[in-house]
Amino acid sequence: MNGLGNEIIVADMRGRADRVLPAAAIALNGDIATGFDQIMAIHDPRTPGTAAYVEIINSDGSRAQACGNGMRCVVHALAAESGTTSYVFETIAGILTGEARADGLISVDMGKPRTYWQDIPLSEEFYDTRKIELQIGPIDAPVLHSPSAVSMGNPHATFWVDQDVWSYALDRFGPLLENHPIFPERANISIAQVVAPDHIILRTWERGAGLTRACGTAACAALVNGVRTKRTERQATITMPGGDLIVAWREDDHVLLTGPAELEFAGRFDPATGAWSRSEQDVA
């Protein structure tokens, strides 16, 4: 599947006691036919009132706490299977809800942002995480600096720029910033250009996945950080390489992410090794 070009494998692990292992993720990502950004593993529910417990694995085998585009793909897949359009899920970051809308888009309540430095987390004490001391490039003329930091369950840094987001070598700066010691759990790194109070252009280097065509939690982080720094309204269109997402930071502090999800093809794979086969009936 994909969520706005963010390549997602949705794995149905219901009724099973095993998990998708990092080795399987690395093997699947090593095959051009199954290269992906995240695996969303749907497990039996652990908490009454939830439909499933969802584990998230990046293409480098690391586990993530949240994945907005991936959650939309999970809603899309389950709705296609059962016809039910509203879901409550549990992830390691907490409870979140998703809904397949009549217009074909999918909305996911990504929960509340965490802005306190220890919740992001950062390795140093910053009491104002709207603008932390982090820069890259020449010391007297940094290329990127003073990002806003927030957690959507996973850590994000939003660097504000006023040039075209494509004029920055994010493929070079991304890994340096992702692995910077200020982020003890690494971080997702985004470059954001605010073109209107309700419109952000965004590119993301994802923790554990690299450059992706869209990143749902980064879109949420950019909107929240845009409001915190008085650059944007509480709802905006986030234009990413794969297309547009709509993000709204509601008055109840929940962040709502709306966008598409698409099925590409189905198959089966071994959750321990990543050995896979494509299903006969092509569904794309």
Ligand X SMILES: N[C@H](CCC[C@H](N)C(=O)O)C(=O)O
Which one of the spans 20-28, 134-142, 202-210, 261-269 is the region binding ligand X (CB under 6 A)?
A: 202-210
The annotation status of 225 as a binding-site residue, yes or no, is no
Residues in CB range of 183: below 8 A, 6 or more apart: 120, 121, 122, 123, 155, 157
* 73 catalytic per annotation: no
Measured CA to CA, the distance from residue 247 to residue 111 in angstroms comes to 12
- Catalytic one among 41, 51, 64, 67? 67
Measured CA to CA, the distance from residue 65 to residue 25 in angstroms comes to 16
Which of 206, 228, 231, 241: binder of ligand X (CB under 6 A)?
A: 206
* 220 catalytic per annotation: no
Min dist CB 185 to ligand X, Å, is 9
Q: The tokens of 25 are what?
A: 């993720």
Min dist CB 88 to ligand X, Å, is 19
Cβ atoms of 156 and 217 within 8 Å: the answer is: yes
The annotation status of 38 as a binding-site residue, yes or no, is yes
Phi first, then psi, for residue 134 (nearest 5°) are -155, 130
Nearest to 106 by CA among 64, 152, 70, 81: 70
The interface with ligand X within residues 85-124 (CB under 6 A) comprises: none
For residue 7, CA distances in Å to 29, 39, 74, 211, 214 come to 10, 9, 13, 11, 9
Min dist CB 211 to ligand X, Å, is 11
CA-derived radius of gyration, the chain: 18
The interface with ligand X within residues 45-84 (CB under 6 A) comprises: 58, 64, 66-70
- 188 touches ligand X (CB under 6 A): yes
- 209 touches ligand X (CB under 6 A): yes
The annotation status of 206 as a binding-site residue, yes or no, is yes
The annotation status of 179 as a binding-site residue, yes or no, is no
Q: Which residues are near ligand X by CB under 6 A? A: 6, 37-38, 58, 64, 66-70, 154, 188, 206-209, 215-217
Q: Which residues are annotated as a binding site for substrate?
A: 6, 38, 58, 68-69, 154, 188, 206-207, 216-217
